[in-house]
Amino acid sequence: MFGIIWKSLRNRWLTAMLAVIGIAMSVALIMTVEKVRHDTRTSFTQTLSGTDLVVGARSGAIQLLLYSVFRIGNATNNISWDSVNDIAARPKVDWVVPLSLGDSHRGFRVLGTSQSYFTHYAYGSGRRLALADGAVFDDVFDAVIGSEVARKLGYTLGQQIVVAHGTGSVGLVKHDKQPFRVSGILAPTGTPVDQTVHVSLEGIEAMHVDWQSGMKAPGPGTSAEEIRKMDLQPREVTALLVGLKSRGTVFSEQRAINTYRAEPLLAILPGVALQELWSLVGVAESALLIVSGFVVLAGLVNLMSVLFAGLNERRREMAILRASGASPRHVFFMLSGESVLLTVMGVLLGVGLHYMVIAVGSVWAQAEFGIGLNVSLPGEGEWLILAAIFVAGLCAGLLPAWRAYSQSLSDGMMQRL
């Protein structure tokens, strides 16, 4: 029986192939959309990992997340260096990484931080920052740039860069008396780190030596040599990444920081805040999924139309089968078996196509958007989608099969030519 179905299909290979391709394309599309959706979400919610708490001046959780992790927007207030020391001294705190924001370089944010940033900052499932070239900053005027900064601006090691106060790219006052030197270039991470120029906290202080009350002091400016001899201990920072000795203490530490007496502070759990933020920006993903759902529907309607269109020209075939002893039920079985075969082939081809797209596209997606797409076995969601498509394909075949069934009942063995 299956042999007949197969041979009959092979006889009409062009229309059969078009139906299979239609299903395959829609399967590949919805699988890829689902994959990108899933991995984008994972990628996004793992922009910052390994950090237990992000601490900033008291504001909103999302706002703190936006400026400390995504370098979007500005802090309304800073944290005093005393508070930083207090938090770092807490017995349950393992490490702190201070972040100082507020300056930019040609549209890229400049982040003042300590060397501990490069040992503790993690993204994805605990991946650490790695240097593609050069070394971590050592001198006051050293800068470590993210991969995007290097790529877009064409910077290499040793490049002299001038940092501007403020965060735009035009009309800003430049700290041109204290140029920095690129000492290291980070490997791509797919996180905002790629778009950041990292300097030491002392560097941030250094570029502001000639500034008073936000205004550039007149005069020739202080030379780099003199600045190096100064005390460049920062008085305040913008935010703080905190790692705890034990994750179990995260809520008690959060409460302790939130109720800190000397200064109004806010501590957030980055994972939770990232999830919250995703639920805001992730609406588009659902729209995408709905659209791909409709594409699948179109593929199935196409399958149905191929089967229906074939019915009339196959009336003779059905009559011959009936004359050879096939019952209308055989005819029904043949038609629905055909749709199952076409759907299975479409699904298999579609899954293959999907993996090809992912394998080829992952390189590009990582480089362009920093989304880590990894080739993996279909997850539960994907299996469900595939099963649903299979069932839908079966159902799409039932209607034409029913039509053929009733046709062969009424036609009998008469050949309506």
Partner 1 sequence: MTRHTTRDAPVVVLEQLRFAWQAQADTLLDIAEFSVARRERVFLRGPSGCGKTTLLNIIAAVLKPRSGLVEVDGVDLTQLTGAACDRFRADHIGLVFQQFNLLPFLSVAENVQLPCRFSALRRQRATQHGRSLMEETERLLAQMNIPAAMMHSRSVMHLSVGQQQRVAVARAMIGSPALIIADEPTSAFDSDVREAFLALLFQEVEAAGSSLLFVSHDAGLSGAFDRIVDLPQMNRASPAMVTGGV
Would you tell me which residues interact with partner 1 (CB under 8 A)? 1, 4, 7-8, 10-11, 316-317, 319-330, 409, 412-415, 417
Q: Please spell the DSSP secondary structure of 100-152, one letter per residue.
A: EEEEEETTEEEEEE-THHHHH-EETTTEEP-EEEE----STTEEEE-HHHHHH
Least CB distance from residue 329 to partner 1, whole Å? 7
CB of 337 to partner 1, least distance (A): 14
Q: Which is nearer to partner 1, 37 or 314 (CB)?
A: 314
Beta carbon nearer to partner 1, 225 or 313:
313
Measure the CA angle with vertex 71, ends 200 and 96; round to 5°. Answer: 50
Please identify, using beta-carbon distances, which residue of 323 and 360 lies nearer to partner 1. 323
Contact 76, 102 (CB under 8 A): no
Which lies closer to partner 1 via its Cβ, residue 11 or residue 169? 11
Structure tokens at 267: 């501590």
Cα(45)–Cα(284) distance, rounded to whole angstroms?
16
Q: Rounded to the nearest whole angstrom, what is the least distance from the CB of residue 327 to partner 1 in the complex?
A: 3
CA atoms within 13 A on the CB side of 16: 17
Whichever of 10 and 261 has its CB closer to partner 1, that residue is 10
Structure tokens at 256: 């302790």
User: Closest Cα partner for 148 from 107, 87, 112, 206?
Assistant: 107
Q: Would you call 222 helix, strand, or coil by DSSP?
A: coil
d(CA 33, CA 355): 12
Q: How far is the CB of 11 from partner 1 (least distance, A)?
A: 4
User: Is 379 or 412 the residue whose CB approaches partner 1 more closely?
Assistant: 412
What one-letter code names the amino acid at 330?
H
In terms of phi and psi (left: phi > 0; alpha: psi -120 to 50; beta: otherwise), the region of 106 is left
3-state secondary structure of 172: coil
Q: Is 24 helix (H, G, I), strand (E, B) or coil?
A: helix
Q: What is the largest CA-CA distance in the chain?
A: 106
Residue given tokens 């081809």 in the structure block: 349
Minimum distance between the CB of residue 152 and partner 1, rounded to whole angstroms?
Answer: 60
Specify the DSSP element, H or E, that contains 181. strand 180-186
For the CB of residue 333, give the shortest distance to partner 1 in the complex, in Å: 11
In terms of CB distance, is 297 or 409 closer to partner 1?
409
Minimum CB separation of residue 5 from partner 1 in Å reads: 10
CB nearer partner 1, residue 1 or residue 135: 1
Strand partners, 181: 142, 160
Structure tokens at 221: 């400016």
Nearer to partner 1, 78 or 339 (CB): 339
Find the shortest distance in angstroms from Cβ 7 to partner 1. 4
CB of 13 to partner 1, least distance (A): 10
